[in-house]
Homo-oligomer: A and B are copies of this chain.
Amino acid sequence: MHQFIENGTITTVNGFKAAGIHCGIKKRKKDLALIYSELPCSAAGTFTINKVKAAPLIISKKAISGKKPVKAVLVNSGNANACTGEEGHNDAKISQKHCAELLGIKPGEVLISSTGVIGKRLPMETFLSGIDKIIPHLSEEGGLDAAQAIMTTDKKMKSYALKVKLEGGTVKMGAIAKGSGMIMPNMATMLAFITTDAKISQVLLQKMLKKSVQNTFNKISVDGETSTNDMVVVLANGHSEIAVKSGSKNEAMFQEALDALCRKMARAIVSDGEGATKLVTINVNGAKSDKDANLVGKAVANSALVKTAIYGRDANWGRIMSAAGMSGASLDPTKMSISFDKVPILLAGYKIVLDEAAAFEVLSKEEFEININLEAGKKSSTWWTCDFTEEYIKINADYRT
């Protein structure tokens, strides 16, 4: 079983250094992060399915699909380097090469990632001198600085680590992530970087990451938007010399821990979604198929009317029914039931058992569950969403200007 480590981060994992600094892409806040392992790492990644992809994402995706070892990840915030054309692609390439030269490694061993405004060229002079500046800051205590440097509209830093006892000994995993708008990842996600000292092949690591992402980052929604820059990357440097092999008990245990770490980040991203005041778990049960369970979960998680009702602490279950009805899932509304935490709201046959006071109490909590049973089969799906507030509008009406 895994165990979370207090104040853990990517550098809690042996053999990883990191740094986070302000280089000048943003006005004041930290905007450049670097993760580094002297030992070559197996590197796996999942990437946005948006057809409009950022330049650094295209480059990193290609690097990972080559299945070759990786030693570093360079991330800037404040500029997405997306929709920047040939020039943007060159900018990304130049930064990758520059970073590799300073680290004394090959360009292909450096993954690159950007987040921020779309459609603006990176200020290259600032960026390159930032890379010069960040290298000496690399340290085994640098994880939290890196976590801060990748933030954009996030209010809370997302940094975690855990240890998991495998056959042969204990390995660690660390992670940092950023949200917090344009969030409805799909086969990919916002930015998250995971480190581990387990010894795993690239192919197995990729398979495990994909599985974890599917049930965590791909089940959250802040605003139904999927960014041009979303990526999750995991680096395994083998420092512990404890092997995780396909089909072994270790694989199952490592997967369970990786799932937990990704779930932690996914929930933190929703909870810190732009303007969000509540974290809501949506459990869809009794679906005819996995697809139906996901369609309903996604539709409810994305519904502006459900999300504003949550904000208003209004037990407006009719909006949940309406969202489910439009989800495309096969369902019979007369069989459906809804509860908030353990407070029943609607029973099958449109039997309304809503106790307004009890429902209001649940809806006043910072975290609660919406349970939807379709009574059409045995499949289920869990999604996470947040409420939709005036603050979201404010943040996004003012974002670029």
Interface positions of A (Cβ within 8 A of B) = 49-53, 80, 82-86, 88, 117-119, 181-182, 186, 223-228, 302-305, 308-309, 311-319, 321-326, 331, 333-334, 346, 349-352, 388-390, 392-394, 396-401
Contacts and interface: CB of A to CB of B under 8 A. Distances in A.
Q: How many copies does the complex hold?
A: 2
A226 to B, nearest CB: 5
Given A83-B346, A312-B398, A390-B393, 17 more contacts: A50-B325, A51-B331, A83-B350, A85-B334, A88-B350, A118-B319, A119-B318, A119-B346, A186-B326, A227-B322, A304-B396, A308-B396, A312-B401, A314-B397, A314-B399, A314-B401, A389-B393
A346 B324 CA distance: 38
5 contacts: A52-B325, A82-B318, A223-B305, A308-B399, A316-B400
A388 B398 contact: no
Of A53, A308, A315, chain B has the most CB atoms within 10 Å of the CB of A308
Nearest to A184: B326
A385 to B, nearest CB: 13
Given A318-B119, A333-B83, A311 B227 contact: no
Contact of A350 (B85, B117, B303, B311): B85
Contacts of A83: 317-318, 321, 333, 346, 350
A308 B331 CA distance: 33
A50 B119 contact: no
A61 B212 CA distance: 45
A397 B323 contact: no
A355 to B, nearest CB: 14
A181 B399 CA distance: 25
B228 A321 contact: yes
Contacts of A308: 392-393, 396-397, 399
Contacts of A118: 316, 318-319, 321-322
B117 A314 contact: no
Nearest to A325: B52
A211 B394 CA distance: 39
A50 B225 contact: no
A193 B302 CA distance: 31
A390 B399 contact: no
Contact of A311 (B50, B334, B397): B397
A267 B388 CA distance: 26
Contacts of A393: 308, 311, 388-390, 392-393
A286 to B, nearest CB: 16
Contacts of A186: 326
A389 B351 CA distance: 35
